[in-house]
Structures are given as structure tokens and as C-alpha cells.
Amino acid sequence: MPEPVKVWLVPLGRNNQEEVPGRLSLEPVGLIFDVDEGGVETLPLNQIKKVGRVRGSPILMVTHVAEGESLRTAFYFSKPPPVPSRRSATVTADRGRSLRRSGKRRDQRANASYLTSANTLQKELVVEWTIEIRRAIRDANG
């Protein structure tokens, strides 16, 4: 079993997608996430359907079932980049022409660059976690 590690949990496709800092550990019963502000979330191994590393980023993606619903949860092994704001595009004039620059695209490029850089430092750890979780699921299912 890998050593517990500092991660940020992000529940995907749900109303609240704020990152939650905490410590992730793998126990015989499942993935245990100890929230920094108190509380514990458990993903039982028998409810985990898919686990994998998002290539080029320090993200462990877990697909699991809760109350009959398929859910995806991302565990960031580096602090997640800020969610882009919904600001409007900036329009500037250059010699009589209008140039439209999308703040959203600029934010996406910056976030992708950040995640790629963070991946360099965390890739081996995320790969190790992926392998260990898959092994634990296989062992639990017999």
C-alpha cells in the first residue's frame, strides 16, 4: 500500500466542483480521503469501476458508483489551477482593426501549462497510486 499523500479532491459533474484539500490513503476497505478541515470520505473498492492517470497531468481519475449513480472524482497530486472566471472577451483596437482576445482561452493555456509542469514532478507517484489501487480492486474481487 502506498504512503498517504496530500491531494486535492475535485468532484466532477456535480454542482460543487470546489477543490477540497486532504490526505489520500489506500486501505483494504477502499480509498480513504481525510479532509483537512475535518471529516472523512470513503470510496469502497467494490464501488470503484475505473481508475487511471490523466496523461500529461498530476491527476488520478476515479470513476465510482454511489447510490446507483456513476460519479467521477479527480484527485490532484498538485494544487489545482484556479477555475477560469466567466469574464467577457477583451476587445482592443490595433490600427483600426478590432482584435478579440478570449480570456477563457488564455486561462486554459495557462492551466494546461501549469498541469504539464506539475506532472513532471508527480508522474511517478500518480502511476504508483494507479497501479496500487488496481491491484487492491483485483485482490478484493478475488
* CA-wise closest residue to 59 among 3, 112, 104: 112
**Residue with more model confidence, 22 or 142:** 22
Q: Where is 136: in which H helix or E strand?
A: helix 103-140
Domain containing 98 equals: 5-140
60 vs 105: CA distance, rounded Å? 24
Which of 10-14, 30-34, 87-91 bottoms out in mean pLDDT, i.e. has the lowest? 87-91
122 vs 79: CA distance, rounded Å? 11
- What is the pTM assigned to this prediction? 0.77
pLDDT of residue 96: 54
Number of domains the chain is built from: 1
**Residue with more model confidence, 13 or 128:** 128
Q: Which residue has the cell 502511476?
A: 127
pLDDT of residue 89: 42
CATH number, domain of 131, equals 2.30.29.30
pLDDT band at 57 (very low <50, low <70, confident <90, very high): confident
Report pLDDT digits (tens) over 113-125: 656 665 567 889 9
